[in-house]
């Protein structure tokens, strides 16, 4: 805090916030209504008079396990792969990831020696990371191993050492671009090392959750080389499974999800998916393809999202700078994605989240960004500024910053 | 065959069909285009100006693991349960059933002692039955045990005996009404016995696939008592999991799926589903609720389906009667559903399906209606008359009947 900010002054500021009876929520990376409004044309993109795919497929009827050809082509552009390397799913990439890991668990994967469930499994969790990722592997009973983030993706020295020595480590979660919550992107060098590294497990898998691939905030765009290409060059083509969706492009709860992988992983996925479904909703695929057309259409659309999101992120960063700029805490300044990651001095995150809640500002639970919900340093706080209004974000961030300073002053 | 039908005459008739270069398909229970056309209003039921649920929920955004309240209420009416006993899924009840069994396999179910995968599992398969059901339990490595159908559901003497003596039998597939392919419905007495029977497995489950609950063909409606009620009365409330969808009500590939069960099973499902998804597509739920409104709306809509389907079923039955009525074969005369089940004399089904294929009429593979795709008597053939035109159905059935007689004459 600045010299003028006494513990008493901070407590008074905090009480003043409490008196405002705020009810603000910065917990989840949920699009704001204005963002959802951008894709309203989706509702009318397929009508009762015009519901056939380009090849004449009646999208209303059964069939199409792989997805419509034009939907596969759209995601092929997004992922930078061939359409034959893409499978379209339902509305949720989380479901595709969950189902993929459950298939590996029960049936095993190409290049492996059998079901993963046959022996204890460990899983690498770069952290701070995405709580729903960690939850899936925890749910399967896997031992979660924290890997530090470096600002350019997971610490590859740690990753290489661990996967080389322990065959029970079957995979790693990675959000390659604008990672949740740190906003960092995997460097070109790390992509190369991920593809080339020796793994003790012959069936090691990288779950490459490309959730924010086109989700830039401004003119500075992070670029991450294509990991499937890198794996194919390195002779490890089975290693990577790519996931993504339009959840934060079109409508969060009614978008399209897709996965991409090499031929062997796609064939494997189809074997199991064909027992689970006759095929995903093709009408919604057609809506998306008609509305967005191609990757250029997606980029143009995402620029409109950025125009809404950028001022919100700027407000968070400005208030944090004003309140905590004197070296009291550190935070990320991402070029894209949905989060600002705030690090307090060690031992304060839980207390700050509690104080903020008691002043009417709901934050993601402290620890949520780490395996088992436990931040060993108790310092990381995820701020999700997409959904509230600009004014709410300024106020909420001001409350959070005040709580950081108050917590430090009190302890 | 009639006395006038010589082997030579049948062979000539068959060759005449072959010369027609037919290309007919009676393989799957796929709705015809005219049936899909009945629900065209779905496309415009939710618009860019009107996309909120009754409680104000923005259907475009994340959330809603259980489904919209109005969607749960609609399926509660269809299933005859309370809305709190319903969970809405994506577009496919097959997926809900697959996921349910995978959860049981990996995690175990309420009332059980652990994951089903911990020990060999056997599964009861009333047959003739639905090939995609059998495929799921076969895929999980379960031993499939055939249970005969009686004309009023599975043979309960056999079911009761098997489940009482063998704790490795964890469940049974049942299509309660207008079963695939025999069109029969489970009797009230069998519902009572299913609920009351003693099972050696404490975590025995009935997968009650209520796929055709409102799919009547004419004025005669089969009625099946509610199994969840019966189980609750019998003190076996955990025993039944009910599934259904609008796949053959609205649009086959873009409908709504749902499940129903008691509180314990619903809570269990939510624990696992919450790791797999943030929630299913609510926009599509709203479309369906707005379009169909309630069970009365569904019934009125299904009467229109029946008006299309009944003449097709009548054509099949008339041609079978004309060609095979003299005791040569037997077949079902269902009050609803999607199939006519034809039994040739033993040892002819495979040959008939092959002969029909060589005359341009594709049928469901012989044996598909039995576990492992093997009909021990090689006699059952599933006819699916929904999709082709009336003229095509008459011709296709004529071809099939001719093939039956030819096969008998030749052997």
Out of B293, B313, B336, pick the residue that ends a domain. B293
Asked if residue A200 and residue A135 are part of one domain, the reply reads: yes
Asked if residue A219 and residue A324 are part of one domain, the reply reads: no
Asked if residue A335 and residue A266 are part of one domain, the reply reads: no
Alpha carbons B301 and B106: distance in angstroms, whole number:
40
For B86-98, what is the mean pLDDT?
A: 98
- Is B44–A41 a contact, with Cβ atoms under 8 angstroms apart? no
- Is B275–A40 a contact, with Cβ atoms under 8 angstroms apart? no
Asked if residue A11 and residue A69 are part of one domain, the reply reads: no
Does a structural domain hold residue A80?
Answer: yes
- Is A278–B40 a contact, with Cβ atoms under 8 angstroms apart? no
pLDDT single digits (tens) A341-387: 999 999 999 999 999 999 999 999 999 999 999 999 999 999 999 99
Range of the domain at A169: 53-294
Does a structural domain hold residue B2?
Answer: no
For B162-188, what is the mean pLDDT?
A: 98
Asked if residue A182 and residue A119 are part of one domain, the reply reads: yes
Q: Which residue has the tokens 């314990």?
A: B264
For A100-121, what is the mean pLDDT?
A: 97
Average pLDDT of every residue of chain B? 97
pLDDT of residue A330: 98
Does a structural domain hold residue B350?
Answer: yes
Asked if residue A310 and residue A285 are part of one domain, the reply reads: no
pLDDT of residue A3: 52
ipTM surpasses cut 0.95: yes
How many domains does the structure of chain B reveal? Answer: 2
Helices A131-139 and B263-276: crossing angle, nearest 10°? 120
Within 8 A of B280 by CB-CB distance, chain A residues are 90-91
pLDDT of residue A80: 97
Within 8 A of B58 by CB-CB distance, chain A residues are 33, 36
| Structure-token pair, residue B146 | 């055939």
In this complex, which of B46, B60, B276 lies closest to A94 when CB atoms are compared?
B276
Q: Which of B47, B253, B270, B290 should be substituted to probe chain A, the one whose Cβ sees the most A Cβ atoms within 10 Å? A: B253
| Structure-token pair, residue A381 | 């706080």
Does a structural domain hold residue B38?
Answer: no
Q: Give the CATH number for residue B330.
A: 3.90.1150.10
CA distances from A306 to A31, A248, B243, B321, B364 (A): 11, 11, 42, 68, 52
For A238-265, what is the mean pLDDT?
A: 98
Alpha carbons A101 and A135: distance in angstroms, whole number:
12
Sequence-separated (6 or more) residues with CB below 8 Å from residue B13: B402, B406
By CB atoms closer than 10 A (0-12, 13-18, 19+), residue B381 is buried
What is the nearest CA distance from B208 to chain A, expressed in angstroms?
17
Q: Is A289 helix (H, G, I), strand (E, B) or coil?
A: helix
pLDDT single digits (tens) A176-213: 999 999 999 999 999 999 999 999 999 999 999 999 99
By CB atoms closer than 10 A (0-12, 13-18, 19+), residue B25 is middle
Asked if residue B261 and residue B219 are part of one domain, the reply reads: yes
Q: What global pTM score does this model have?
A: 0.97
Within 8 A of B140 by CB-CB distance, chain A residues are 106
Question: Looking at the predicted structure, is the pLDDT value of residue B4 above 90?
Answer: no
Asked if residue B243 and residue B140 are part of one domain, the reply reads: yes
- For residue A320, how many other CB atoms are within 10 A of its CB? 23
Q: Give the CATH number for residue A140.
A: 3.40.640.10
Question: Looking at the predicted structure, is the pLDDT value of residue B1 above 60?
Answer: no
| Structure-token pair, residue A203 | 């069936």
Q: Which residue has the tokens 């598909």?
A: B368
Does a structural domain hold residue B201?
Answer: yes
Model confidence band, residue A166 (pLDDT cutoffs 50, 70, 90):
very high
pLDDT single digits (tens) B290-325: 999 999 999 999 999 999 999 999 999 999 999 999
- For residue A243, how many other CB atoms are within 10 A of its CB? 24
Does a structural domain hold residue B41?
Answer: no
For A255-272, what is the mean pLDDT?
A: 98
Question: Looking at the predicted structure, is the pLDDT value of residue A2 above 80?
Answer: no
- Is A28–B275 a contact, with Cβ atoms under 8 angstroms apart? no
Out of A260, A294, A328, pick the residue that ends a domain. A294
**Dihedrals phi, psi of B365, to nearest 5 degrees:** -55, 135
Within 8 A of A31 by CB-CB distance, chain B residues are 61
Does a structural domain hold residue A68?
Answer: yes
Model confidence band, residue B3 (pLDDT cutoffs 50, 70, 90):
low
Alpha carbons B245 and B185: distance in angstroms, whole number:
18
Does a structural domain hold residue A249?
Answer: yes
Asked if residue A105 and residue A124 are part of one domain, the reply reads: yes
Alpha carbons B228 and B76: distance in angstroms, whole number:
12
pLDDT of residue A5: 83
Alpha carbons B390 and B24: distance in angstroms, whole number:
12
DSSP per residue, B121-141: -EEEEEES--HHHHHHHHHTT
Asked if residue A310 and residue A247 are part of one domain, the reply reads: no
Single out the residue of A294, A309, A282, A314 nearest to residue A212, CA to CA: A309
Asked if residue B277 and residue B225 are part of one domain, the reply reads: yes
Asked if residue A185 and residue A84 are part of one domain, the reply reads: yes
Alpha carbons A50 and A188: distance in angstroms, whole number:
44
Out of A294, A319, A349, pick the residue that ends a domain. A294
What is the nearest CA distance from A246 to chain B, expressed in angstroms?
12
């Amino acid at each position: 805090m600045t010299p003028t900010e006494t513990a008493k002054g901070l407590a008074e500021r905090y009480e003043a916030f409490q008196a405002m009876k705020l009810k603000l929520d910065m917990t989840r990376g949920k699009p704001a209504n204005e963002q959802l409004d951008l894709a309203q044309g989706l509702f009318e993109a397929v009508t009762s008079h015009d519901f056939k795919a380009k090849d004449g497929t009646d999208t209303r009827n059964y069939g199409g396990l792989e997805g419509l050809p034009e939907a596969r082509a759209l995601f092929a552009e997004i992922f930078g792969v061939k359409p034959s390397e893409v499978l379209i799913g339902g509305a949720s990439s989380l479901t595709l990831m969950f189902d993929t890991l459950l298939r590996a668990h029960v049936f095993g994967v190409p290049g492996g020696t059998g079901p993963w469930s046959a022996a204890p499994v460990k899983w690498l969790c770069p952290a701070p990371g995405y709580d729903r990722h960690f939850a899936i592997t925890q749910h399967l009973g896997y031992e979660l191993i924290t890997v530090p983030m470096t600002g350019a993706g997971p610490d590859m020295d740690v990753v290489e050492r661990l996967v080389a020595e322990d065959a029970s480590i079957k995979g790693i979660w990675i959000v390659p671009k604008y990672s949740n919550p740190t906003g960092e992107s995997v460097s070109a060098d790390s992509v190369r090392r991920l593809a080339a590294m020796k793994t003790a497990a012959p069936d090691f898998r990288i779950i490459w959750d490309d959730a924010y691939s086109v989700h830039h905030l401004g003119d500075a765009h992070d670029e991450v080389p294509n990991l499937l290409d890198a794996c194919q060059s390195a002779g490890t083509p089975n290693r990577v499974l790519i996931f993504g969706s339009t959840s934060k492009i079109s409508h969060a709860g009614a978008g399209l999800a897709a996965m991409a992988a090499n031929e062997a992983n796609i064939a494997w996925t189809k074997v199991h998916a064909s027992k689970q479904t006759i095929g995903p909703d093709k009408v919604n695929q057609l809506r998306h393809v008609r509305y967005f057309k191609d990757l250029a259409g997606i980029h143009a659309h995402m620029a409109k999202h950025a125009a809404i999101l950028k001022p919100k992120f700027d407000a968070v960063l400005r208030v944090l700078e004003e309140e905590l700029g004197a070296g009291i805490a550190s935070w990320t300044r991402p070029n894209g994605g949905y989060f600002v990651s705030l690090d307090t001095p060690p031992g304060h995150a839980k207390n700050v989240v509690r104080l903020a809640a008691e002043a009417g500002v709901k934050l993601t639970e402290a620890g949520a960004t780490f395996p088992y919900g436990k931040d060993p340093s108790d310092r990381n706080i995820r701020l999700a500024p997409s959904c509230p209004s600009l004014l709410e974000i300024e106020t909420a961030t001001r409350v959070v910053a005040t709580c950081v300073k108050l917590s430090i002053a009190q302890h």
